[in-house]
Copies of this chain bind each other. A is one copy, B any other.
Amino acid sequence: MSKGEVVLLDCWMSPFCMRVKIALNEKGVEYEHREEDLFGGKSELLLQSNPIHKKVPVLLHDRKPLSESAIIVGYIDEIWASPPLLPSCAYGRAKARFWADFIDKKLYEAATQIWRTNGEERGAATRDFIETLKQMEEALGDKNYFGGEGDAFGFVDIMAIGVASWFHAYEKFGGFKVADHCPKLSGWLKRCKQRESVSKVLPDPEKVYEFVVMLRKMQGLD
């Protein structure tokens, strides 16, 4: 399984870093993990490796840097072929990439608005987020996982779990329960958490909530 040195520039609460760690775990790839201090000063290695965005995650594969989580997970799937994360047919891959894109552009953006706002603006953001979740719920349908290949755990699941790792914080700020609106999605998240590749990556939801409380204070929102 060894195909060179793998180093991840990481941050524990980043939904995007979680994706990369879950993908590496699914593939059974051993990697060195380096926690970045995003507030205390980013490492020289991070700034050099991702000069455009200066953001985690960065995956260094034999010192060659890769950034942007969806791209990194796709790369991991190409280099370490088993188990496959993306479908084997071109149309399936395109559909998986469509939902990954939806998760980043719609779901994540809608989610972020919940904690970045107050009052009526937060109410609107919460309603918007729930509507977006319902679109995900419909895409999931009666399948166990978004897939990947058929019903198997795969690329779209990994993309979605990163965002789902903050659900508890969104629920507390938005005053709602994902399970009340999207029971199938709630079941999907429980199934995902039973996977070792996922459970050993996801942080304590309460710790994420406390991090968001701190972020809001830093940004003068509370």
Q: In the bound complex, what is the Cα–Cα distance between A68 and B68 (angstroms)?
A: 18
Q: In the bound complex, what is the Cα–Cα distance between A75 and B66 (angstroms)?
A: 22
With contact pairs A74-B97, A97-B71, A97-B74 given, residues A52 and B90 touching in the complex (Cβ less than 8 Å): no
B135 lies within 8 A of A52 (CB): yes
CB under 8 Å from chain B, chain A span 50-102 = 52, 61, 64, 66-68, 71-72, 74-75, 78-79, 90-91, 93-94, 97-98, 101-102
The number of chain A residues with a CB under 8 A from chain B is: 21
Shortest C-beta distance, A155 to chain B (Å), equals 13
Most B CB within 10 A of own CB, among A67, A72, A74, A94: A94
Q: In the bound complex, what is the Cα–Cα distance between A29 and B90 (angstroms)?
A: 17
Q: Binary interface profile of A, 121-151, with partner B (CB < 8 Å = 1, else 0)?
A: 0000000000000010000000000000000
The listed residue (B52, B66, B102, B135) touching A94 by CB distance below 8 A is B66
Q: What residue in chain B is nearest A90 (Cβ atoms)?
A: B78
- Chain A interface main SS type: helix
A101 lies within 8 A of B71 (CB): yes
When distances are taken between beta carbons in the complex, the residues of chain B under 8 Å from A91 are: 61, 64, 66, 75
The listed residue (B61, B68, B94) touching A72 by CB distance below 8 A is B94
When distances are taken between beta carbons in the complex, the residues of chain B under 8 Å from A72 are: 94
The 9 A-B residue pairs with the shortest CB-CB distance, nearest first, are A78-B90, A75-B94, A71-B97, A71-B94, A66-B94, A75-B90, A79-B90, A68-B101, A71-B98
Q: Please, could you name 25 A-B residue pairs with CB atoms under 8 Å apart, sorted by A?
A: A52-B102, A52-B135, A61-B91, A64-B91, A66-B91, A66-B94, A66-B98, A67-B98, A68-B97, A68-B98, A68-B101, A71-B94, A71-B97, A71-B98, A71-B101, A72-B94, A74-B94, A74-B97, A75-B90, A75-B91, A75-B93, A75-B94, A78-B90, A78-B93, A79-B90
Given A68-B97, A71-B94, A78-B90; 4 other pairs, CB 8 A cutoff: A66-B98, A68-B98, A68-B101, A79-B90
